[in-house]
Amino acid sequence: MTPAKPKRKKGRFRWLRAFFILILLMGLGMSAAVATYIWRVVAALPSLSRIEPKPSLTSTVYAIDGSVLAELHAQEHRMPVKLSQMPESLRYAFIAMEDHRFYSHFGVDLRAIARALYVNLTGRSFQGGSTITQQLAKNAFLYMEQTYERKLLEAIYAIQLERLYTKDEILEMYLNQVNFGRGAYGVQAAAYAYFRKDVSELTLPESALLAALPWSPPVSVIPDELFRRQKSVLDEMHRHGYITAEELEAARAVELVIQPRPRDNVKMAPFFLDHVLDYVLKKYGPEMVYTGGLKIYTTLDPNMQAAMERSISEVLDPVFPLIPGQPTLQAAAVIVDPKTGHVKAMVGGRTHETRLGLNRVFSPRQPGSAIKPLVVYVPAIDLGYSPGDVVDDAPIAYPQLTGPPWEPQNYDLSFQGLVTLRTALDRSINIVAIKLLERITPRAGINYARQLGITTLVMETRGGRTDQGLALALGALTDGITPMEMTLAYGVLANRGVQVDPVAILRVVDKDGNVFSEAVPRPRIVLSEQTVFMVTHMLQSVITSGTGRSAAIGRPVAGKTGTTDDYRDAWFVGYTPDLVGTVWMGYDKELTMESHRVTGGSYPARIWASMMKAAHEGLPVQDFPQLRKDQLVEVEICIKSGKLPGPYCARSDRRIELYLKGREPTEICDVHVRAKVCQQHPQYLASEYCPAVVERTFIKRPEPYVVGTNKKKPLDAHLELPTEVCPEHVPAWLRPPPPNPGGDG
């Protein structure tokens, strides 16, 4: 009889079967979970046709000569270049070090992954196993931390990239993506950051060092480790056959010098760059400007910019040194081509403190006498006055609603008497400007200034002030005028009456070469050629014989000085047929330049002459445009009356003056007159009782003047025709009785 099997064996089999079924179910569940996870990841991926790396690209600002003015970028300074621009040594250095089977795998290197797993599991070291294509996928699309999900996505993206792009295209994108430290992304930015050269100029040792950078500590911390890694790159290049043993030996022997880290990506003209940057940021936004790879072509002339900066420094530094902790006497300057509106050079201050900070070229300041041509002489000439017309520079008083009368003064506190408009402009005589503005009205002066491009004049009453007063002639304004608007207004005179808007940016091009915007000049005629010619002719006299003699540069120049009464602002604005420029000086705070008596004809005129002389180097000397001969006439006039000389006009009071045809004087001088005076008392007209009489020539003023509180008279007052008869030579019976010394007793 066969013995029965133990029951415990049957139970054990059932238990094992249940265990294996459980393991199978768990495996199937895990497989389903993994499959579901992979499906969700793949489903979330973009379409293969839309996958394209979009790195942060550096925008570049160019000067007019094509040189780089600045590079604009956020954290990533990247300037993409074509693979053909990169030396072979650079390409092979990266391939040898990171992915020597790059041209043979399909985006994922299974052998490299297996080797990396073995090394990592055995604990010998750590290896990643990623291909160049996977690293491109990681840099371009994946910003998450190191996880299994990211590694999976890397592989999927890499395979898609390999299907969409050629190997060379992938390598080009990768080398333009790599982070090299110092804010440099891509080999072009790295070549400049470490060696100050273009990527195409890199040598074999330099290429190997760049290939070592992504795997090494920062060069500023452990340079020895970087050079050790560079030699490892060279060894790998030799091992994989990219360089010979001789090339290896020669490259290892080279001692590389790494350049200091660039402190600023602005090459020059920081205030001009601020102006450009302010515009593009408002128009395109920060993301496009700092990451879009724009190419911004500007009007800046590097030679003129350098000359401007040098001129300000050479003139001001010896007298007004920059002392930390003390207020700085500031200066601003700008040069514009009046025909095109191109801004050629700009300085907004003696030091550039912060990006997009105060730019004094666009900061309103009181213009002083620099405004006189714009609000007085241009309107007057356009309305029919001529340079030979005469105004009396004599004391005057204007009543005010409250307080004492307003008694304006000239800069030197003297009065010249009867002078022509040309002389008044030459010497910047305030009284003549005020009287002339009174004749044409302040409203007309403001309208002409606005026509010339000045936008800051105030017509309405604001805080008890308005620019519709006679103080307008002296530049005492509510808000002031910016150096840029002053330059553009004088530019109309330099451009024969044609106004052109200022241009700093010629065009903006995106990374693909599409033109975003392009400057289109829109010239407008705002003054007649006749008016422009006459005003320019007068302003040339300011340089040859007036307050602007320091601005002479050996070629035809017209211009005007400007100084405020309190020495807070000093200007020189001038132009040639080629360029117009402005120089302003003053303090930002309520300080004056009185201790040095800075006027527009001193330091500003000297700076202007220095920078404009350099700016005109290489340009032919040319005169201002002339009118036709039949439009002009030269006439000898009497400078005390503005009329044709009479029989009593002295030779010293006669001068040849230029007139527009039809405006020349036709009347004979009636200011110079002859009269008989007492020989003993020539300050009196002779009476019939004077024992001796002489006949002399005098001037007879068209109108009397007011003796102000300072009691000063015009310099020609001694030539005035007496108005009283001699009181000494009269009959005894007409004389008053003498006083009685004895009184009543």
| Distance from C-alpha of 195 to C-alpha of 189, rounded to nearest angstrom | 10
Per-residue three-class SS string for 235-269: HHHHHCCCCCHHHHHHHHHCCCCCCCCCCCCECCC
Nearest to 177 by CA among 48, 56, 51: 56
- Phi and psi at residue 59, in whole multiples of 5°? -90, 145
| Distance from C-alpha of 593 to C-alpha of 129, rounded to nearest angstrom | 71
| CB distance 694 to 668 below 8 Å | no
Determine the residue type at 615.
A
| Distance from C-alpha of 584 to C-alpha of 255, rounded to nearest angstrom | 51
Q: Using a CB cutoff of 8 Å and minimum separation of 24, what contacts does 199-204 make?
A: 199/81, 199/85, 199/86, 199/87, 199/90, 200/85, 200/86, 200/87, 202/87, 202/89, 202/90, 203/89, 203/254, 204/89, 204/234, 204/243, 204/247, 204/251
| CB distance 674 to 697 below 8 Å | yes
Determine the residue type at 655.
R
Which pair of structure tokens corresponds to residue 320? 């007004």
Active site residue 369: yes
Residue found under tokens 């700092």: 290
User: Measuring CA to CA, how many Å separate 715 from each of 23, 413, 523, 718?
Assistant: 120, 11, 46, 7
- Phi and psi at residue 122, in whole multiples of 5°? -80, -10
Nearest to 209 by CA among 147, 258, 269: 258
Helix then strand then coil, % of the chain, to nearest 5: 40, 15, 45
Catalytic member of 71, 76, 98, 206? 98
| CB distance 611 to 333 below 8 Å | yes
Which pair of structure tokens corresponds to residue 629? 């001969």
Active site residue 311: no
Residue found under tokens 């007409």: 734
Residue found under tokens 């008016």: 531
DSSP state of 219: T
Catalytic member of 311, 369, 386, 602? 369
* Three-state DSSP class for residue 6: coil
For residue 34, give every residue at least 6 positions away whose Cβ sits within 8 Å of its Cβ, in sequence order, or none.
none
Which of the residues are catalytic?
A: 98, 369
